[in-house]
Structure 1
Amino acid sequence: MSNIIPHTYEITAEKRALQKKQKPLVIWFSGLSGSGKSTLANLLEKELFAAGFHTYVLDGDNIRLGLNKDLGFDQSSRNENIRRIAEVCKLFLDSGLIVIAAFITPKEIDRSIIESVLGEHYIEVYVDTPLELCEERDVKGLYKKARKGEIANFTGVTCEFEKPSNPDLHIETQREEIEVSIRRIFKYIHERINEN
Structure 2
Amino acid sequence: MDNMKEFFTTLAGEAHVEFEEKRSIFIGHALRTDTEEEAQEYIKKIKKQYNDATHNVSAYTMKNGIIARYSDDGEPQGTSGMPTLDAIRKSGVDNACVVITRYFGGTLLGAGGLVRAYSHTASLVLEAAGIITYEPYSEYELRCGYSEYQKYNAYFCDMGVLIDDTRFEDQVTIRFAVKRRESDQIVTKIKEMSYGRDIPVALGERYDYR
Q: Structures share a fold, TM > 0.5?
A: no
Bigger radius of gyration: 2
TM, length-normalised to structure 1: 0.27
TM, length-normalised to structure 2: 0.25
Higher helix share: 1
